[in-house]
Structure 1
Amino acid sequence: MSRRYAALLSLLLLSASPALADVDRIVVTKAERKLRLFDGGTLVREYDIRLGSAPEGRKQVEGDGRTPEGLYRISGRNAASAYTLSLRISYPEPWDLAAAVKRGLSPGGDIMIHGQPDALPDFVTLPWDWTAGCIAVSNDAIREIWSLAPDGTAIEIRP
């Protein structure tokens, strides 16, 4: 069975099972390497994460290997990414852009919550910080997050 077919089948099975309501907030705590889903004030799910190659500090410019910090939204999704599904984070927001322009540099972009590289077997989860600034989770986790967090979901990324 191809990886894409398996991913689609998993999504169908998740949507066919008794589902949780959509979540309204995602909180990422970089220092803890945790991503949490909330419905109202109730914690619904928690996942281990991996970050960029230089995870400490706020993302400032393209190529710094950092993951942004602040308030964002899920602004799109890509089922055909180079990773097992990806949810776009609305970085850079105007304040991120202004800070980078002040330095005469690009803030970067394409910051996502995504699964593992497609080249890896589905059950493998890389155990170190390896992204270019994205938030990586296991393939099972991204499938669940994908199904629970609609576009527009608020995401707070904490140090």
Structure 2
Amino acid sequence: MIGVMLLGLAGCASKFQRYSGPEVTRVVVFKQDRKMHLLSNESALKSYDIGLGFAPSGHKSVEGDGKTPEGQYRIDRRNPNSEFHLSIGISYPNTEDRARALAVGQRPGGDIFIHGRPRKNRKGGRDWTAGCIAVSNREIEEIYAMVRDGTPISIYP
């Protein structure tokens, strides 16, 4: 009987959390350190270990290069039905990114997100994405609740 009740409660768990703490005013990513910080003004609220694109060094310049972009962007969308549990979008490519790719006759790519891990990559290595920023599913649930669309994100080498 207790087992059935616990199983029923587990089915009620939601990946959508509520957050009522200080506003996240900026997201900062340090690629080399594999760290992401959620800031409220100058105070760090949370920090996360992250995974990056499968070719983590350098700025993303063209579609398919496996690099995570570097620069100043914004959180611009969210996907509650992501194949990566949950995801929040980064506004890559910007005008400069498009111009740089066009200058070499390529497309800049897109669909860069902060997201969780799909089942197939659950036990994969650290840098496995096509250019996104990966955290655990539990962590993306927290980040999804805390970070609002329009929040600036700075991604450093």
Tell me: CA distance 1:46–1:32, structure 2 relative to 1, closer, same or farther (3 Å): same
Residue 118 of structure 1 and its aligned partner are, at CA, apart by 4.6
SS of 1:98 mapped into structure 2: helix
- Residue 43 of structure 1 aligns with an amino acid whose one-letter code is A
Give the aligned partner of residue 24 of structure 1.
25
Residue 20 of structure 1 and its aligned partner are, at CA, apart by 1.4
Give the aligned partner of residue 153 of structure 1.
151
Q: Structure 2: how far apart are the matches of 1:43 and 1:136? A: 19
Gaps of 5+ in 2: 1-6
Q: Structure 2: how far apart are the matches of 1:28 and 1:91? A: 14
Report % sequence identity: 48
Q: How does 1:56-95 map to 2 (within 5 A)?
A: 56-95=57-96
Give the aligned partner of residue 52 of structure 1.
53
- For normalisation by structure 1, the TM-score amounts to 0.87
Tell me: CA distance 1:114–1:130, structure 2 relative to 1, closer, same or farther (3 Å): same
Contact 1:24 1:154 (8 Å CA) reproduced: yes
Give the aligned partner of residue 134 of structure 2.
136
Residue 130 of structure 1 and its aligned partner are, at CA, apart by 0.3
Q: How many residues align?
A: 148
Contact 2:30 2:36 (8 Å CA) reproduced: yes
Tell me: CA distance 1:145–1:63, structure 2 relative to 1, closer, same or farther (3 Å): same
- Residue 108 of structure 1 aligns with an amino acid whose one-letter code is G
Residue 119 of structure 1 and its aligned partner are, at CA, apart by 4.9
Contact 1:36 1:43 (8 Å CA) reproduced: yes
Residue 38 of structure 1 and its aligned partner are, at CA, apart by 0.1
Compare CA radii of gyration and give the structure with the larger one. Answer: 2
Gaps of 5+ in 1: none
Give the aligned partner of residue 100 of structure 1.
101
Check if 1:41 corresponds to 2:42. Answer: yes
Q: Structure 2: how far apart are the matches of 1:86 and 1:126? A: 18
Cα distance per residue 1:13-51 (max 9 Å; x no partner): x31xx7312201000100000110000100000001000
Residue 125 of structure 1 and its aligned partner are, at CA, apart by 5.6
